[in-house]
Structures are given as structure tokens and as C-alpha cells.
Structure 1
């Protein structure tokens, strides 16, 4: 059995971060979200992995390498444009051959991994097996409709009027039957080859499409709010450890990880928190559900429920929360102009200011 991991896409919902950064590499608890998926695949006993990449291919390749760090053998598959999940299957045909495979969306996060799901699929081997979960707004996802016995009877991508509240989670298991399906469908109104249309093709042609409804934790980390929520969930399971330096004037409370080379001076850290290597926290408060990447500096500031990427500086800022701060960003108070804000913001930025 092989795995196909999708790591292309423009990441429009995470702009401006993704103007210069692959969305699958945005860190959760200081580890790229893509890595959690690769680890889950390895834990399921799968070693041959194809990663579908787009414009951010060089970044993905630098981060993942040949896969040996995960116990995987990685093949990179270039996608010319984000033309749909079924299109990714289509262009991966040579790599996949005639083997069963799991398709995993690289920006999805599932607590507990996929080993049990893979074992179930290997034991029963339907033509396709999908994961479903109940969501508040199904119109933002692929949606499945089940009959009274629980059998999948219809699927639709981002419907205006959803026929159920069951969203299709970004993990799919297929036999080679799916190759006929992706060749048999036409692009949707969005101009993409939809995997939901391929699944519907299988159903319409009498193939066995099964589903598993999960009640555990799943998130599509395609937007800032979901990234922060996943970060919170992961941090809650991280056991604290202190490898950096903490002076006597500092207070560490709860599950706090301080990586080697990090320095905490005159500060209060309330976990769960992860602080990366060589980061300095000086005269500051870092509150729960915050991850701060390596080589950052937080001074005379307060930050909570946030993700700070590598090389960022936050200095002299009274309060930051529910924020995603990009690489090498500088956040400082305005000077010389009372009651004014001075901003330099990239395209598609969103700023909330307390006036």
C-alpha cells in the first residue's frame, strides 16, 4: 500500500503568510502541520509516499527531504496548477501503479493518526473508504449523504444547500478502481476535477464506497482560527521540559517546553507553551496555548493563544492574543503620534485594533 500526500494549493485563506510560505509548513506546536501527517502515515505501516507539490515545491522538498527522517521513501510529483484532488490522483498514476493507497491532505490534522483506519481498509478492501465528521457549516466542505443503513449514496463538493451535516475529512483510501473514476469525470464549475465527483462516479457504477464517521479531533488548518485551535489541542498533549535557561526572577507554570539555547529572564510563562531554541523572553508574559518558534525575541510584552514564527520580534506591546505572527516580523508600539497606529501590512492581511 502506498500514500499520496497533497501539498500543493495556494493557501489563500492563510494569506499573507502563504504569499511566501507553504501552508503545509506553518507550524503547530513548532512542528510543520505536514509532518504530523507524514508521521501518521509511517505509523500506519506505509513507507512509499508520493507528495504532490505546486509552486512551493522547493520549500516542501527542503523541509521533508528524501523522507528518511520519517522512515519514508518520498517521491515528489509536480502539479502544474491546483486543478483538484482528483487531478492529483490522475497525475500520480505512474507512481501509484496498481496498488491500493491512502490519500492524505497535507494541511489536515487528525488526532490519533490513521493506523486503525488503514487496518480496517486492508481487512475489508472496499473500492473506496472515506472519513466523515459532523460540522456546523457543511457548505464549506465536500458533503456526504447516507441512506438509513449508513451507506454512502451521494456526495457533493461545497453545496449551497447541503443535504447533510457530514463533511468529508481529508483522508481517503482507494483501490485502483479510482483511476477509472478520475478519468471518467469532467471538471466542475470551479474548473477542478473534484474527488467527490470521482467518488460519486464509483457509486453510480455500482462500486463499493464506504464511510467511517469520526467523533475525534479533526481540523482543516486552512485558516488562522483553525491553526490556532489545532495548536491549542496539540500543546495540551505536550509534556513540559526545560532545556534552556530560566533565571530566578521568572515563573514557569504548567506544561512549558523551553528548547535548548532559549533564555527566559524576568518573565512569567503559563502553559501549555512551547518556546523554540535560541528564543529570548525578557520581562514578558506568555500565556496558554502559545507556541514561539526558534530565534524569536519577546520583550516587555504580553502574548497568549498565538503562534509566532521563526525570527519574529515583539517588543513593548501591551497585549497580543489569537494571532499568527509571520517569520522575521517586527511588532513594536507606535512612537511620537499619540493615539495613532502605524502599520505596514501585506496583501490580504486582517487587523483588529482596539481603539
Structure 2
């Protein structure tokens, strides 16, 4: 399911759907598709909505990845359940595995499918254990792994198991979701299945899991892929402190740390330090700049000796020399900040 607008990541998502943002050298969705292919699954249906044409233009019929990809466009917001129901007519098999398209996961997909078969489940949910479940909906299970209830966020959760956004459905259950209207699987479909006595099980593990919806999570997820903390078949043998496209120009004395990514045609001047940052294609960073925990969009220019920390710089934006940008600032596409135009310290 890749239909969301990605509003929390604006301005990155003004022109690009969130699942197509460059992440560790590839559009994010490509990492998920590579994991799907590695698990032996070859037929994929993408439920799209916002900027739907971008997906088909990039992936086509999927043959370059060894997949067969079909597309279903959501013309009106249908929610998590309605979006799943909307692709029903394209499903070919009695079992369908559904993915939230903006989750970075290290789960073993074949193990989840094995649990589904072994339990003869109607629905199997991937549940991941987290250190602080208070920020998420919790899903308790009994000693046999059967789901007992679905809980909203609570200050005193009874379990550390949360919904990880990956589900295995018997196809017949998807047909029963109401068509043509917004439906929430979390608030409507799943509780109803429990009421009806359906066999709903959890596949519980402590695998890598991250919702890529916020700037900080996006940066961390990309860095974890580059460093091999999160696994992607696309990066086998390529992990390390940084990932630099062969066409990029990185001058002497540049430090690239913390899983930094440097995109195609980007130029980084001498003496720069870039830490835990995602740099898209065609960026120019002039000498002496220091950038950390940030995202620099395609075509942006960063002036000499600028300091940027925890920011998003939009497409084609220009940050002047000696500027200081901190604390979650978002520079929208095409904006020009003059030399020393923004500073947090006195200009000396």
C-alpha cells in the first residue's frame, strides 16, 4: 500500500511520493520489492493514489526486478482497509501478504508465511517487540500466539508487541471488507474479525522495524541501511560508513560519516563534514560546510562554511555561505537564503 501523501516529510513529498524518496541509494520502495523477490514472491500489486503515475513510470511491469507488478489507483481516500479492498480484483492467490509501503523492516517474510500456514490462520499479523510501546497500538496474544484484542495507545500497555504493518490475509477476508468507502483495518476490520471468531494470529519477533514517516526516522532508516544495521538485498557487499554514487565528486579532506548517502552528480567541496545525512542527486556543497542529521534534496546548493543540523532542504533551494540552520528547519523548494541570511550565533 503506497498511496499516502507523506505530509510529515514535506517539502520532500511535494513532488515525490514518500515510498519513492531516495533512501540508501535507491527509491525506498525498491528495498521492499527486493526483499519480496528474495522471499520468492513474484506477483506484486501496488495500491497507489498520490502521484500514482510516478510508480508505473519507474517500475513499469516489474520485469527488470524479476517481478510482475500491477497497479490499482485509489481515486478517493479509502483508509487502510479500503485500500486493501480496492486491489482485491488483482489478487491471484488464496493467500495475500499486505505491506505498509513506508515501513522499513528486517522481518523474515517466509517465517511470517510459515506461521500463517502452521496456525491455519485467517489473518496473521507481524508484531514486533519495542522498548517503548506507549507510542503505538498494542496487540496482545495468548500462549498459542492467537490475538486477543487490539488496543489504542495507552500509558500502561499490557504488552510490548505492536502492529508492524505487515499482514497475511486469506483472500476471502479481503472480499468481505466493504468496497467503495473508507475503512480502517485497525479500528474496524481487525476488531470485527475477532468478534466473528476468526483465527487471527501474531507472528512475533524483535526484528528491525522503523516507520519512515518523519524526517528523523527517514534519515536514521537510510543510515541504518547503509551501515548494514537494516538489511536490504540491494546493498549486499556495499555497506559501511557512507554510500557514494560513482558519478559524485568528493574533494580532498571531506569526511562522510554515520551512514551518509551521496547521490548522482553531487559535488562536495574540500573540508566538508557530512554526518548521518541523505544527499539527493545533483547537489552542490561548497567547501567547509558542516551538515548533520539532515536531508538535502536534488539540485540544492549549500554555501561555503554553512552549518546545517536536523533540517530538510527542498529541491533547488540555495543556502548561502555561513548560514546556520538548526532544529528541524524546512527550506522549501526554490527558496534562496542569502549569505549569512540565517544565523544562531553572532556574526564575527
Same fold judged by TM-score > 0.5?
A: yes
Which of 48, 52, 59 is residue 53 of structure 1 equivalent to?
48
Write the distance in 2 (CA, Å) between the matches of 1:73 and 1:213: 29
* TM-aligned CA deviation for residue 74 of structure 1: 0.9
Matched, 1:288 2:275: yes
Aligned position for 1:133: 128
1:205 aligned to 2:196?
yes
Following TM superposition, where does structure 1 have runs of at least 4 consecutive aligned residues deviating by more than 6 angstroms?
Answer: none
Could you tell me which of 313, 319, 329 is aligned with 1:325? 313
Q: Which residue of 2 aligns with 1:20?
A: 15
Q: Alpha carbons of 1:105 and 1:121: their partners in 2 closer, same or farther (altered >3 Å)?
A: same
Deviation at 1:87, TM superposition (A): 0.3
Equivalences for 1:65-144 in 2 at 5 Å? 65-97=60-92, 99-111=94-106, 113-135=108-130, 138=133, 140-144=135-139
Contact 1:317 1:332 in 2 (8 A): no
RMSD: 3.1
Provide the rounded CA distance (Å) in 1 between the counterparts of 2:41 and 2:92.
Answer: 15
Residue 114 and residue 56 in structure 1: after superposition, are their counterparts in 2 closer, same or farther (change >3 A)? Answer: same
Q: What's the offset of the Cα at 1:162?
A: 5.5
Higher strand share: 1
Give the C-alpha shift of residue 84 in structure 1.
1.2
For residue 97 of structure 1, report the CA deviation from its aligned partner.
Answer: 4.9
Task: Tell me if the contact between 2:304 and 2:322 (Cα under 8 Å) persists in the aligned partners.
Answer: no
* 1:168 paired residue number: 163
Find out whether 1:194 has 2:184 as its counterpart.
Answer: yes
92 and 294 in structure 1: CA distance in 2 versus 1, 3 angstrom threshold: same
Partner of 1:43: 38
User: Aligned pair in 2 of structure 1 residues 141, 80: CA closer, same or farther (>3 Å)?
Assistant: farther
Cα offset for 1:150?
Answer: 4.1
Report how far residue 325 of structure 1 moved.
Answer: 2.8
1-structure distance, mates of 2:277, 2:4: 27
With over 3 angstroms needed to count, the CA separation of the structure-2 counterparts of 1:194 and 1:239, relative to structure 1, is closer
Cα offsets for 1:94-146 (capped at 9, x unmatched):
11255211001111111255233234434544111111123466565443133
TM normalised by structure 1 equals 0.80
Q: Which residue of 2 aligns with 1:31?
A: 26
TM-score, scaled relative to structure 2: 0.81
Q: Report the alpha carbon displacement of residue 72 of structure 1 after superposing the two structures with TM.
A: 1.0
Number of aligned residues:
323
1:179 aligned to 2:169? no
Structure 2 matches for 1:1-16, cutoff 5 A?
6-16=1-11
* Unaligned segments of structure 1, at least 5 residues: 1-5, 242-253, 336-342
What stretches of structure 2 of length at least 5 have no aligned partner?
Answer: 229-234, 324-328, 336-341
CA distance in 1, matches of 2:281, 2:175: 47
Could you say if the C-alpha distance between residues 113 and 312 of structure 1 is closer, same or farther in structure 2, counting changes exceeding 3 Å? farther
Q: Distance in 1 between matches of 2:318 and 2:113?
A: 44
CA distance in 1, matches of 2:343, 2:140: 42
